[in-house]
Amino acid sequence: MKVLVTGGAGFIGSNVVDKLINKDHEVVIIDDLSTGRLENLNEHARFYKVDICSPELEGIFRKEMPEIVSHHAAQIDVRRSLDNPILDAQINIMGSLNLLECCQRYGAKKVIYASTGGAIYGEPESLPASEDYSIKPLAPYGVNKYIVEKYLPLYRQNYNLDYTILRYGNVYGPRQDSRGEAGVVAIFIEGMLRGKRPIVFGDGEQTRDFVYVDDVVNANLLVLNDGDGGIFNIGTGQPTSVNELFKLLKEILKYNNQPLYGNERPGEIRSIYLDITRAQRDLGWRPEVGLEDGLVRTIRWLSERG
């Protein structure tokens, strides 16, 4: 199939592109390179340096006529969404609507939407959080991701544009950018490799669901032909505290220092991990890379990159 990947020069998107091409799909990439990197681009994909908010998007759709759209382009920084909620909405809502309009005008069959399982549920009263858990985001980023989720059924009903929503946990692995909250694993590793003391915000007992990027990519490939109209948590179903993450990295890297502790940051969730039963049952998907193995692979990639 011909698949258009927005954010295809970014961390997750570029890994999805590589797997699609490896499976002999034709791939088109749209990325404005605001956070994506040229070095992540697959040479076998066609690349357009375009913002998803731009009117130029329509011309690309008119020319390429993709069957599937994998939508990974986004403003992903929770703190930035608190500082500038208007910008977050412009990119994550209006950019997504621009994309959906192009999809329905030019005959795309399906949108695979990269949403957030780490920010959409807010502070759950019970864990793990399932897809049916109440939506109580603590930051505009989670709100705006959810708003787009609610548009997708409307486009399915009115324009026969199918969709699958994937709510990611905290994704980590090769090509992860150390900037922003989503890069906590990369931030720790890069700092520790340089002998610096990483900063833990709060007491470090806050938990996250760290899922390796290859497992996320596999979920994306599965829903090319499955999961229509569905919402699926993509995580490990296991909580890991920031302190536990640091301890594990310390052992792997044989690092001698301790972290520095700073103040908690607004908009950050205390504890979250995801119920992945639905993805296991309906898609036959399950995480295959354990945290220690995934961290070793990530360290190797970051070390080789220098």
The answer to the question of residue 280 being in a domain is no
Say yes or no: 16 and 143 in one domain.
yes
Please identify which of the residues 141, 163, 172, 212 carries the catalytic annotation: 141
Name the nearest CA neighbour of 8 among 18, 247, 215.
Answer: 18
The answer to the question of residue 53 being in a domain is yes
Say yes or no: 266 and 131 in one domain.
no
What's the confidence (pLDDT) of residue 182?
Answer: 57
Identify the CATH number of the domain in which residue 76 sits. 3.40.50.720
Say yes or no: 23 and 153 in one domain.
yes
**d(Cα 20, Cα 2) in Å, to the nearest integer?**
10
Is 0.95 surpassed by the pTM of this model? yes
The answer to the question of residue 281 being in a domain is no
Say yes or no: 216 and 68 in one domain.
yes
What is the percentage of the chain residues whose pLDDT exceeds 90? 93
**d(Cα 96, Cα 88) in Å, to the nearest integer?**
11
Say yes or no: 94 and 182 in one domain.
no
The answer to the question of residue 229 being in a domain is yes
Q: How many domains does the chain have?
A: 2
Measured CA distances, 265 to 177, 243, 245, 289 (Å): 20, 16, 18, 30
Say yes or no: 89 and 221 in one domain.
yes
What's the confidence (pLDDT) of residue 305?
Answer: 83
What's the confidence (pLDDT) of residue 265?
Answer: 85
Say yes or no: 119 and 176 in one domain.
no
Say yes or no: 186 and 264 in one domain.
yes
What mean pLDDT comes out for the span 297-306?
91
Q: Is 141 designated active site?
A: yes
The answer to the question of residue 279 being in a domain is no
Say yes or no: 79 and 225 in one domain.
yes
The answer to the question of residue 283 being in a domain is no
The answer to the question of residue 248 being in a domain is yes
Which residue stretches of the chain are H helix?
A: 11-22, 56-64, 78-83, 85-89, 95-105, 140-159, 184-193, 213-222, 242-253, 277-278, 291-305
Does 235 have pLDDT greater than 70?
yes
Which residue segment(s) compose the domain that 22 sits in?
2-169+212-234
Q: What is the dihedral of CA 13, 26, 284, 174, to 10 degrees?
A: -30
Residue 274 per-residue DSSP state = B
The answer to the question of residue 192 being in a domain is yes
What's the confidence (pLDDT) of residue 180?
Answer: 52
Say yes or no: 251 and 149 in one domain.
no
Say yes or no: 270 and 301 in one domain.
yes
Does 181 have pLDDT greater than 60?
no
Identify the CATH number of the domain in which residue 246 sits. 3.90.25.10
Say yes or no: 14 and 63 in one domain.
yes
